[in-house]
Amino acid sequence: MASSGKAKEQQQQLESPLLQASGNGDDGVSGQLESILSDEMVPWAQRMWAATAVEMRLLVRLAAPAVLVYMINYLMSMSTQIFSGHLGTLELAAASLGNTGIQVFAYGLMLGMGSAVETLCGQAYGAHKYDMLGVYLQRSTVLLMATGVPLAVIYAFSRPILILLGESPDIASAAAVFVYGLIPQIFAYAANFPIQKFMQAQSIMAPSAYISAATLAAHLVLSYLVVYQLGLGLLGASLMLSISWWVIVVAQFVYIATSRRCRLTWTGFSMLAFSGLPDFFKLSLASAVMLCLETWYFQILVLIAGLLKDPEMALASLSVCMTISGWVFMISVGFNAAASVRVSNELGAGNPKAAAFSVVVVTVLSFVLSVIISLVILLCRDYISYIFTDGEDVAAAVSKLTPLLVFTLILNGIQPVLSGVAVGCGWQAFVAYVNVGCYYIVGIPLGCLLGFYFDLGAAGIWSGMIGGTLMQTLILVWVTFRTNWDREVEEAKKRLNKWEDKTPLLSE
């Protein structure tokens, strides 16, 4: 017993500097948040005010760097598309089809599989099971690297695949050249997403933001030289994007391996990374299905638009709108990450009221920001396309689509955040079923009906698909509102105990 007590005391001594080193002190603050919300002796309004102040401190520290990381990473893809677009309308359409029609396929799959790490690492960190985080990181990386091999084969055959899907041979050929340069990016994704979720679970966000910002600056300069000065065109643009992603991966891993903030969660490579892979794959697959169905949804919009009467103009105008939407969407993805970390940490720590309150605050904050940004874009609707291309026809087409873009951005202020809550709670399988029904049974058929049968073109396709997004958002709002957070705390404990049992090291 004395030995056990001494070991426990040593663990507590280790944990204390970990929290101090990480600069978050989230345990104390989130415990304080739970106490504030549970103190019924204090008037409700006063409790809400005090709790909001506490939660905003936590969220700003989490969401601000997360938003910055995702926006900067997206800006790299966005800048690559801009460089390609100024080569000509065909190149803009090809880069759009390659980036949104093919590359997002891998992005959705890798990000989705990586979200299994987000659930497990977030809850393990909240429960102080620090040694599990490094094992989860390695297991996920092994699985994602293996998944990257068949994806690389799909990339290699992108031209015949696009032609088989009915795309124009000229656009398909140009898009295939762009996609060939993105093959190394697949494996960068496979390493990046587990690393990113591993760091997010510990509220370590700022280093990734600094790394991404420095990489973006270098990417812009080198992309200009490669595309225009060296004349490597589409292939040079996409290869430069792949290299930039690998720079981010290597820099983040060096940080993890050398930082004191990760000394308890990263203890080196372990053979445990190869244990329990089948069950870990099942959890990753459920996560992948959930997020893939979301990220592929608007990818399908671009593919369908390629079948319209004037595919080059439809793809060019949608490319501009989707790129803007994707960039603003990164704000919501940052809040998605913050929501997932906050909810999973609170559930792992056994704080149901704090978890529920965090959901409300992060959703409202994301929604307000999305409305403000949407108003700015609406005011600039006639000029915004000139960032991407000089064509006046494209500018007119983008201006007509802007109201749909604005409505999409407002919905995206809510939906991704609630998806982050789902990841934090481990609801991936349920959300996957919701996504199938709303997106693929309602949204896409409705979009095709409006776009082709009623001859509304790209606007019709997009309108129908917005209907599916609206339905999905309303369902997630309803389910989240009715959640029993005490039960979710118990589910989190069961989940962590299950995965801990699969790790022999912890029982030694």
What does pLDDT average to over the chain? 79
| 287 confidence band (pLDDT: 50, 70, 90) | low
Each residue's pLDDT tens digit, 235-248 = 888 889 999 999 99
pLDDT at res. 222: 92
Residue 275: DSSP 8-state: S
Residue type, 111: L
Q: What is the pLDDT of residue 216?
A: 93
Q: What is the pLDDT of residues 6-43, one digit of tens each?
A: 444 444 443 333 333 333 445 555 567 888 888 888 88
351: left (phi over 0), alpha (psi -120 to 50) or beta: beta
What pLDDT does residue 16 have?
37
| Mean pLDDT, rounded, for 87-98 | 74
pLDDT, average across residues 343-362: 84
Averaged over 441-451, what is the pLDDT?
90
The single-letter DSSP state of residue 385 is G
What are the residue boundaries of the structural domains of the chain, listed by start? 59-275, 279-493
The pLDDT value recorded for residue 80 is: 82
Which residue did the predictor score with more confidence, 504 or 227?
227
Range 383-401 average pLDDT: 79
Q: Kindly report which listed range (91-105, 232-246, 356-370) carries the lowest average pLDDT score.
A: 91-105
Give the pLDDT mean for 460-487: 88
Provide the pLDDT for residue 221: 92
- Distance (Å, rounded) from C-alpha 333 to C-alpha 397? 27
Contact 171, 101 (CB under 8 A): no
d(CA 495, CA 492): 5
pLDDT band for position 500 (50/70/90)? Answer: low
Top-confidence residue, 387 or 379: 379
CA pair distance 438, 425, nearest whole angstrom: 21
Percent of the chain's residues with pLDDT above 70:
87
Q: What is the pLDDT of residues 304-330, one digit of tens each?
A: 777 777 777 777 777 788 778 877 777
pLDDT confidence band for 177 (50 / 70 / 90): confident
CA angle 270, 276, 277 (to 5 degrees): 90
> Phi/psi class of residue 389: alpha, beta or left (left: φ > 0; alpha: ψ in -120 to 50)?
beta
Q: How confident is the model at residue 214 (pLDDT cuts 50, 70, 90)?
A: very high
Cα pseudo-dihedral 397, 402, 403, 406, rounded to 10: 160
The pLDDT value given to residue 17: 36
Q: How confident is the model at residue 76 (pLDDT cuts 50, 70, 90)?
A: confident
**Residues constituting the chain:** 508
Burial of 338-373, coded b for 16+ CB within 10 Å and e otherwise, reads: bbbbbbbbbbbbbbbbbbbbbbebbbebbbebbeeb
Burial class (CB in 10 A: 0-12, 13-18, 19+), 149: exposed
CA proximity to 372, closest of 417, 410, 411? 410
| Spatial CA neighbour of 344 closest among 136, 117, 170 | 117
- Ordered alpha helix ranges (H), 39-130: 44-85, 89-96, 104-126
